[in-house]
Structure formats: structure tokens, C-alpha cells
Structure 1
Amino acid sequence: MKFRPSGGTFRAATRERVRPLTVHQLNELLLVCSIVLLIAVAAVRVSSRSGLPSLLVYLGIGVAIGQDGIGVRFDDAGLTQIIGYAALVVILAEGGLSTPWREIKPALPLAAVLSTVGVAVSVGITAAAAHHLVGLEWRQAFIIGAVVSSTDAAAVFSVLRRVPLPPRLTGALEAESGFNDAPVVILVVAFSTAGPVDSWHWLLSKIILELAIGAAVGCATGWLGAYGLRHVALPASGLYPIAVMAIAVLAYAGGALAHGSGFLAVYVASLILGNAKLPHWPATRGFAEGVGWIAQIGMFVLLGLLVTPHELGDDILPAVVVGLVLTMVARPVSVLVSTAPFRTPWPERVLLSWAGLRGAVPIVLATIPMVYEVDASRDIFNIVFLLVIVYTLVQGPTLPWLAKRLRLGPAETAADLGIESAPLERLRGHLLSVSVPEGSRMHGVEVGELRLPAGSAVTLVVRDGKSFVPAPTTVLRHGDELLVVATDPVRDAAERRLRAVAEGGKLAGWLGTGGNGPANRR
């Protein structure tokens, strides 16, 4: 009889301690969140002009709201880790969706070596410095070495896309940031649960197995998702972006539940989806970019809240020392070792060494030892936080200057052609909405000179707000919007031809720019 009253008392006490969110509290929360989002959006303009990654501004907002600022107290490392993982999934998905395969394909072998062998070299050198120069125990030293050896996808995607670099370098750095999260997470968890692993061959085999499972799940999910979206006409264009992001998240969850690398799975799946020429792609790309910004803002602000600035004083010198060794020794050595088989030119090696940007990923990973209650885990978090702040301030703004000094700029190319596809399931055809941007070599080409494959035709042109049905002699201009109808069998061929003309002009096919050659002329 005594058991039931005690149980009821416990439940009553629980209800008193954890009261549901009221409507008034919800209104206050929405007000604060909307103000923070607006401030963060406005801060992007400031960060883009200064060359600093926006993550610093977002972290600053979190610190300003936190305990030493407005006074919001937040110290839940476990919740921060969970939200950070979720945000990282979205960021990796957006990065994969927006990475052209033609840029990343030549860089895949180098990126794979940088994210495995390069990470191992960086971890060893950084851990040795943390032990011998800073005085940390080997366990904590290896944790810091693993945490800071991962380049940050959000920082790389946001900074490198504003820096004019050759596609092979941009592809290598973006692919590295997408790949290296997986082995680093495995290392940090292993060191946090059992300290330095004596059985290195066991750890190596585990990393290889998880990467293989993650890659397989990502490939399968991405291919099946792209196939389904290309062959099933959804009733509303707004459903395609939702479906694409859902498939990307499915890849992460499937890879993680299969005891593989969910981070690698989501990046690979998103990379496949992003290059699959899906219907309504511009809308999907815009939606993914918006969700990615929200994920970055939320993650960085939350990480800023977790920091207590008045506790950072004793960790400034260790952070500077570890960061100096990481930036000037560990990263360059890892790049030299990783690029040795590829005969990479020295200017590119220098840039790869300096462009190893750190950001939210190391800070999120630094919450893992806090969750596992590793000794001095708070000091590890503070050192990593300060290291990211200091060296992002140094590396971010100087990267464009270094690229210019090394004379590493992209070759002049024609502007890419914007094509949006909408499937017509009942008619077994597709509507291609084509934009002719400034710089496109489609300017000055007659409609008849497009030489589209049989089964496709330009049916409408919108120019200066007016639409008309073009004649074969109609000359296309910058700013035109074309509506191209293509039957299902020739849809891909029509898009290839349009892109070839946009790149090579009316002589595409004879200039090695692809598309239909003389044999396929209509």
C-alpha cells in the first residue's frame, strides 16, 4: 500500500518540477529567437565585407546572451552535442547539394588522403605539442589533437566560395571538410571513453569499416532518392526541397544505425542528389541554403551560450600554443605527406596548408569529453573554443590575400546556365526553364542554332517582362528566360546541349565543349 502513494508523490513532484511550456513563454521564446535570427542575418553582411567567417559573429551573439552578458545560464553539454550533431547533418547536406561533381571528382583521391592520413599526422603532432608544451596528460592531449584536426564544413563552405580559387583546390578542401568529420568523431569518442587506444590496428579497422558502411549507405540512399524524385511527379514544387532534405537526413540516420559513419553517408548522398539534375532544382538549392543558414546560426549561438568568458583567462596561452603548432606545423606536415603521391605544385600545397579552417565542428566535438566526464574536459572545451576564435581571425581574412600572392585564381569561364526542370508525368515529358545569365555564350545565338535533339524545342521566350513564341531566327540575349519542352527520352540530351551552347556558343560540339556535334545536327 505504501508503494502506490510514494509513486504518486514522485509523479506529482515531477509534474511540479517539469511544467509544460505556457503560451506566454512560447511567445517570449519566439520573440527572442526572431530577434536573434534577424541580428544574425544582418551580421552576414558585416562578415562578408570583412572577410571573416560568420561563425565568429554568431558565437559572439551567443556569448552576449550568455552568463557573462545578458545573463542567460546554459551549461547542458549533452543537449549542445545533440543539437550540434543535428545542425552538422544539415550543414553537410547543404554542402553536398551545392558541390558540383565536375569540381570534386578530380579532387576525391587527395581529399580522401587528407581526411585519413592527414588527420592521423595532425593528431599525432598536435597531441605531442599539447603534452610536452602545455603539460596536458596524454589522454587529454590526444583528445585535443583529434578535436582540432577536423576542418569545419561550415567555415570552409562559407569562406572558400567567396575566394576565387581553381576548382581542383576548392573541390579538395570542400571534400576534405565533408569527409574528415567521420574519422575524427570515431577518434574523439575512442579517446574519451578509454583514453589513448593501445590496439591501434583495432581502431584503424573500426574507422575503415565505419567509413565503408557510411559510404555504401550514402551511395544507395542518394541514388535511390534521385531515381525516385526524377520518375515520380509530386503535386507541388515545394515538396521537392522537403523530400531532398528528408532523403539526406535518412542517409545519416541509416548510416548511423548501421554502425557506420552517418556524417559521411549524408555528405555522399547529398553529393549524389545535388548532381542528379532533379526537378525544380533552383528551389531545392535555395531551400537547402536557407536551412543550412538556420542550422549554422542555431549551432553557433548555442555554442556561444555554453562558454563562460570569465573562465577563459587561464586557457588563453595553451590555446595559442596548441593553435600555433596546429597551424604552422601539424597542418603543413599533414598536407606535405598527403600530397606527396599527387605531385601537387608548391603554391597549392601552401594554400592547402593555410586553408585548414576550424569552426563549429571542433567546438561541438569538444563537448564529447564533457558528456563522458573526462578529467579537465572543461579546460579542453575552453582551449578549443579560444583556438578556433584566434586562428579563424587570422586565417579567414588572409586567405584571399594569400591566394592572390600565390597567383592561384580560376581561369575565365562562361557563366553557368540556370536550368529548372518540372516533370510532366501524364505527358511523359519535361518543361525546362532556362535562364541566360550575363557572361553566357548563348547570347547572340539564334534559336535554330541551338540544334536541340529531336523531341525537344524552345516554345516560349520571356524578354523584358514580355513573352513570345520564338522563330528559328530569333536571337537570344542576356536576361532571356526560355521554356523548353522535351520528351522524356531526350530530356538529358537537351539539357547537355543547352549547357554546351552556354559554354561554347553556337559552335559547341566542334570546340570540344560537348553537346551535339555535326552528326547529331537537326
Structure 2
Amino acid sequence: MDLANQLIFVGAALVLISIGASLISSRFGMPLLLVFLLLGLAAGPEGIGGIIFADINSAALIGSLSLAVILFDGGLKTKGENFRVALWPATALATVGVLITAGLTGLIGWLLFDQLGLMAGLLLGAILSPTDAAAVFFLLGNRGLVLKERVGATLEIESGSNDPMAVFLTIGLVEILTANMAGGSGHSIGTAELAGIFLLQMGLGAGFGLGAGHVLALAINRLRLATGLYPLLALAGALFTFGITAVLGGSGFLAVYLMGLMLGNRKLQGFHNIMRFHDGLTWLAQIVMFLMLGLMVLPSGLITIAPLALVLAALLMLVVRPIAVWVSLLPFGFSKAEQAFISWVGLRGAVPMVLALFPTAAGLEVGPLYFGIAFWVVVASLTIQGWTITPLARWLKLEIPSKSGPIDRIEISLPELPDHEIVGYAIDHDSGLVDRSPRLPPWAQPLLLVRNKALVAPAPGFRLAVGDTLYLLAPPWKLPDLDAVFGGRPAEDAAFFGAFTLNGEARLAGLGDVYGVPVPADALKDTLAGYIDRQFNRAAVVGDVVFLGNVALIVRERDAEGHVTKVGLDLDGLKRRAPKVPFLPDLQTLIKATRRITHRRRPGPSTEDRDDDPLF
């Protein structure tokens, strides 16, 4: 009993210290996940805590459980409309990108470390291939960083969906190496069998995730339970789906992510209680996972491999990931700045360290080496990449102004007002509503105004002041419209979207007449929305910029179908051009280069037919 009490005391103390450390890390901008990892290191056998934890199987169980919780929460928070703009790019990164990363990293690992053969090097590449959902969701969601829609959506979907491919590669290569270690007496897996296993895992993962998500959503909406049971029902359903999918040979990680996605984009009773519960649970999962991994690290055993592991980390960040991103996104028309940023946000976190436990659990002699290399790669990634994400996004002109959402949401259950909530909005000093009366839509009813810690009944024509909090009754599906009313920041909006706002259906010809904008002759009959879409060969997203001479046209709003409805105009738009970044050529440049090479090889080209443009 004393041991149990001591474990409870030590575990709770570590969590409390981690929560306290978050206050310090936020002040210095230090990646919080790195703080959790270092705290575990300090509490470990060679740190001041002296805690010994070396149970590989328990660590793999805790790591898998924590990742399942994190992926489920990530699915809950992923908007369904993100898939409309980023499904195929993210899918390419989660499949082709993982394969390229695993292959190139594996070859580099084979060349750097004498202990690894070619197949063992490829296993190292598979372990290091996935970006980490916990790191990406945390760093993008908790730093107030709002990215251009397609960039942010691509990163979120990729990080939540690339784990299954990495897990599949890791387990497959571990089984091959284990069979080889047995002197060929073990069962050797062929290519056809591997392909069958992959299809089975992905098929079962997708099927169980989508199906169970639909069933659980129906259960939550139809069952009449105590309020506190709905979050537990969602959690139990997610873990049940994860477990049964894995037992039947499917990808539990893919299933639990898709299940969260299904629930997060449905109308659910008790939804906000579910979200609050899982938000706290996800924090706990991240703390426990990184603390546990830190406890397993022996610094004395990592010193000798540090130089080569850091070289591998640098090549992974600066060479391998950019190549994988370039190849994966080549057909999708991402700009060089966007590709460079997506490359840099290839964060490695807990997933590679959890996968690095598999070789040791399988009895491979070089198992501890994988964990040590993964530790240095994760530390380098969280330190260098995690610390520089926000300034890089701003330098590359990929950040867009944020809109403040409600600070509080209270669900109500009244038969007379089904599907309504009480929502509260805070008025900051930079709000455009200070000393003004808000123009509220007819379906939003003001209920209560909190001013100077006192309750005030909103009178007709009331004006808002700095520090006020206004509570309204409104349907939850119309909250984006209220966010637009209360979340606007006039100074930020004007700085980003320009001083003028135009209708997307306005003609370019009129733009040239009124503002003197140089409009191409073949575009005079185009609408702003049509011209912008044509420049990208795709549907434009908020924040996309098109230049006409020195003038910038900035996509400001889109409708539910993705059509541009509002366009910002900046007459001094040159400052908006993203800086040139050293990156690989885009698809159009490659096509042009191929045509030029083919043209040169034709016999007897005339001088007039030569293309004197540079290759890239």
C-alpha cells in the first residue's frame, strides 16, 4: 500500500510541476512539449528524481493509449470543410511523403551508423517518418497562430493521418528483421503479403472509424444520460473502436482519428462538455507520454551517438522533409513559400519515440540505438522548428488575422428553444465595437451584460465598452456569423486585407476604371472571384493574394461552396510579396523545362523557335 501511495504522490507531483512549468515556458516561447520531455529526463534515473522506469511493454501501452486520445481529440477539433481544400494534398503527404521520408532517412541512417544494415536503416527511417499530431496540433492551436486555410488544414490532416502508414512500415520491418535474426527459420513476409496487410489495416481503420463514429453520434443524441456521462461515453466509444480495430488487424490510430472527425462535425447533445473534457484529457495524455519517455532516457548512453544523430536530424529537417513535401505537393499548386513552411513544420514528437520502443520489445539487439536516435531527433525538432514556427509564418506572409470566438458557451435544454446556446463575447481594447452598439442579427438575443463585475440588462441601443462581456442566446450553427460581428479587429484587418473591400462578383474592368489598376486585356470581362480562381487553377482560400502591377487583391471571404465573395484591395501591395525561398521548382516550371529539353533535341531547330528563358 505504501508503494501505491508513493506512486500516486510522485505521479501527481510530476503533473503539477509540468503544469507549473507551462507558465514559465510560455513566457520564453519554449515549446511546451519539450519542457515535459526535459522534466521527465530530470526526474529519471540519472536526474535529480532518480526514478527508474524501464518497462518497454508498459511504455508502449501508455504511449499507444495516449496517442489514441490525442488523435481522437484532433479529429474532434478538425473542421470538415478543411477536407474540401486539403484532403488530397494531406493524403499525399501522409502516404507518398511518409514513404519518401522513410526511404531517404533510412539510407542516410545506414550510411551514418555502422551498427545498422540496410534493412535496419530503413526501419530507422520508418520510425522517424511521421510528423507528430500532438506537436502539430499543440503548436498550431495554442500559439494564436492562424494560417492560410489550405496550409493549416494540410498540416493538421497530415499529422493526424500519417501515423498509420508509419506504424505499418515499422511493424512490417520489425517482423522482417526478427525473421532474419532467427536465421531464416521465422516467417518471411513478401511484398504481396505486405500490400495485403496494408490494405487490410487502412480499410478496417477507415471502415470502423467512420461507421463507429456514425453509431456513437446516434447514441449520444438519443440516449438520455446524466450530463457528465456524455464525455465518458465518447471516450469509451473511441477507445473501444481503437481496440477492436487493432485486434482485428486494422489501424486503430486511423479509426480513432476518423471517429473523432465524424463526431466533431455532427450536432451532438453535450458537445461542449465533451470538448472540454477531452481538451483536458489530451493535455494529460501529452504530459504523461512525454514525462514517461523522458524517464526512459539515460543521458550517459546518448552522448556517444549525439553527433551523428544530430547530423541525421539536420538532414531530415533541411533535405529529406523538403524533398518529400515537394514531390507530394507537386500536383497541387502550392507556392514555394507554402511548401517551405509545410516542410519546416514536419515536427517530430512522441510518435517516433513510441515507435522506437517496438524494436526493443521485439528483441532486436540494436533496439536501444533506435530510441536514442529518436530522442535526439525529437529534441532537435522541437527546439529548432518548434521555436521558429510563428516567426517563419509571419516572414513568409502565411499568417492571417484571427477572429475572436466566444469566451464561454453554455448549453441549455429547453423544449421551447431546441438547439440554442448562451454564448459570451469579451470586448477588448482593439475591438471595433468599443463605444458602439453592435448590429445583431434577428436570431441573436442579448441577455446579459457584465460590466465592472456588475450585471447590467442590455437596454435598446446599448453601447459596449472595453472590458465588457455580452451574453447572447443564439443557435450554435450560426456562431461563425456572431464571430464576425464580435471578433473583427479593424486595424489588423485593414493591415492584412487592405483598406477597401470589394464584392467578388465585381468586374475587373470596373476596377481598372475606378482605381487605375492595370488589368490585362483578356481579363476585362472577368469577375474578381473568377480571375483569382484562374490564377491558382483551383478554388482560392482566405489569404490568397493576386497581384496586378503594384496592386494586391486579397481573398477576404468565401461562401459555404468555396466561392470567393469578398476581396480586399491594397493599392500598395508590393509589401505583400512573400520572400523568395530556396526551394525546388514547381510543376509548371518542370513542364516548361521538359519542353525546352525536348525541343532542343529535335533536329534542325530554327533560331526563331528557340526559348531563351532560363531553365528554372
Q: TM-score, normalised by structure 1?
A: 0.82
Is structure 2 residue 266 aligned with structure 1 residue 287?
no
2:322 is aligned, of 323, 328, 332, to: 332
Instruction: Report the residue type matching 2:23 in the other structure.
Output: R
Residue among 355, 362, 372 paired with 1:372? 362
CA distance in 1, matches of 2:152, 2:391: 16
Structure 1 residue identity aligned to 2:7? L
Give the conservation status (yes or no) of the 8 Å contact 1:104–1:168.
Answer: no
Q: 1:26 to 1:278 in 2, by over 3 A?
A: same
Q: Per the alignment, in what secondary structure is the counterpart of residue 378 of structure 1? A: helix
| Residue 256 of structure 1, CA deviation | 1.8
Q: Alignment partner for residue 228 of structure 1, among 219, 222, 244?
A: 219
Q: How does 1:460-475 map to 2 (within 5 A)?
A: 460-464=447-451
Q: Distance in 2 between matches of 1:100 and 1:394?
A: 29
Shift of 1:84: 0.6
Match of 2:378 among 383, 388, 403: 388
Structure ranking higher in helix proportion = 1
- The answer to whether the aligner puts 1:175 opposite 2:175 as a matched pair is no
Q: Which amino acid aligns with 1:272?
A: M
Structure 2 contact 69–285 (Cα < 8 Å) conserved: yes
Show the counterpart of 1:92. Answer: 71
Whether 1:353 and 2:343 are equivalent positions in the alignment is yes
Q: Which has the higher contact order (CA 8 A, sep 6+)?
A: 1
Partners of 2:391 and 2:485 lie apart in 1 by: 35
Name the counterpart of 1:40: 18
Secondary structure at the aligned position of 1:313 is classed as coil
| Correspondence for 2:112 | 133
- In the other structure, the counterpart of 1:256 is 246
Q: Say if 1:51 and 1:396, in contact at 8 Å, map to a contact too.
A: no
* C-alpha separation in 2, matches of 1:43 and 1:396: 17
SS in 1 for 2:85: coil
**Letter matched to residue 276 of structure 1:** R
Residue type matched to 2:103 in 1?
G
* Whole-angstrom distance in 2 between the partners of 1:513 and 1:127: 43
Residue matched to 2:5: 27
The answer to whether structure 1 residue 405 and structure 2 residue 395 are counterparts is: yes
Residues 61-460 of structure 1 aligned to structure 2 (within 5 Å) = 61-69=39-47, 70-135=49-114, 136-161=116-141, 162=143, 163-195=145-177, 199-236=190-227, 238-410=228-400, 412-417=401-406, 420=409, 422=411, 424=413, 429-438=418-427, 449-452=440-443, 458=445, 460=447
Q: CA deviation at 1:418?
A: 5.8
Provide the C-alpha distance between the structure 2 equivalents of 1:335 and 1:60, rounded to a whole number of angstroms: 30
1:35 CA displacement: 1.5
Q: Given the superposition, is the C-alpha separation of residues 437 and 218 from structure 1 closer, same or farther in structure 2, using an over 3 Å criterion?
A: farther
The reply on whether 1:482 has 2:475 as its aligned counterpart is: no
Per-residue deviation, 1:503: 7.1
Shift of 1:347: 0.3
Cα displacement (A) at 1:313: 2.2
Look up the equivalent residue of 2:294 and give its one-letter code: G
Corresponding residue for residue 548 of structure 2:
none
Q: Is the 8 A contact 2:102 2:122 kept in 1?
A: yes
Cα 1:448/1:131, change in 2 over 3 Å? closer
Give the secondary-structure state (helix, strand or coil) at the position aligned to 2:304.
Answer: helix
* Higher mean C-alpha displacement, 260-269 vs 398-407: 398-407
Q: 1:166 Cα deviation (Å)? A: 1.9
Q: Please, which runs of 5 or more residues in structure 1 have no aligned partner? A: 1-21, 486-490, 516-522
Alpha carbons of structure 1 residues 141 and 43: separation in structure 2 relative to 1, 3 Å: same
CA distance in 1, matches of 2:300, 2:72: 36
Structure 2 unaligned blocks of 5 or more: 181-187, 490-502, 505-556, 561-616
How far does the alpha carbon of each residue in 1:298-328 deviate from its partner, in whole angstroms, 9 at most, with x for none?
1111111212111112211331232222222
Shift, 1:473, TM fit: 5.6
| Structure 1 residue 229: Cα displacement | 2.4
Residues 421 and 430 in structure 1, CA contact (< 8 A), matched pair in contact too: no
Q: Does the Cα contact within 8 Å between 1:354 and 1:395 map onto a contact in 2?
A: yes
Instruction: Point out the more displaced range, 208-217 or 476-485.
Output: 476-485
When structure 1 is superposed on structure 2, of 141-150 and 475-484 the one drifting more is 475-484
Give the AA of the match of 1:302. Answer: M
Q: Whole-Å Cα distance in 2 between the matches of residues 476 and 459 of structure 1? A: 12
Alpha-carbon contact 1:211-1:264 (below 8 Å) kept: yes
How far 1:153 moved relative to its partner? 1.1
Q: 1:48-63, aligned counterparts within 5 Å?
A: 48-63=26-41
Q: Which amino acid aligns with 1:62?
A: G
User: Identity over the aligned pairs, expressed in percent?
Assistant: 33
Q: 1:496 to 1:475 in 2, by over 3 A?
A: same
Aligned-partner Cα distance in 2 for 1:299–1:44: 16
Measure the CA separation in 1 of the matches of 2:151 and 2:32: 22
Q: How many residues align?
A: 478
Check whether the contact 1:182–1:211 (CA below 8 A) recurs between aligned residues.
yes
TM-score (norm 2): 0.70
Cα deviations across residues 439-469 of structure 1 (Å, max 9, x unaligned)?
78888997995122xxxx7373343366677
Q: CA deviation at 1:376?
A: 0.9
Q: Which moved more, 1:371-380 or 1:337-346?
A: 371-380
Shift of 1:351: 0.8
Q: SS in structure 1 opposite 2:334? A: coil
Instruction: State the distance in 2 between where 1:105 and 1:171 align.
Output: 9
Contact 2:449–2:458 under 8 Å retained in 1: no
Q: Give how far 1:352 is off.
A: 0.9
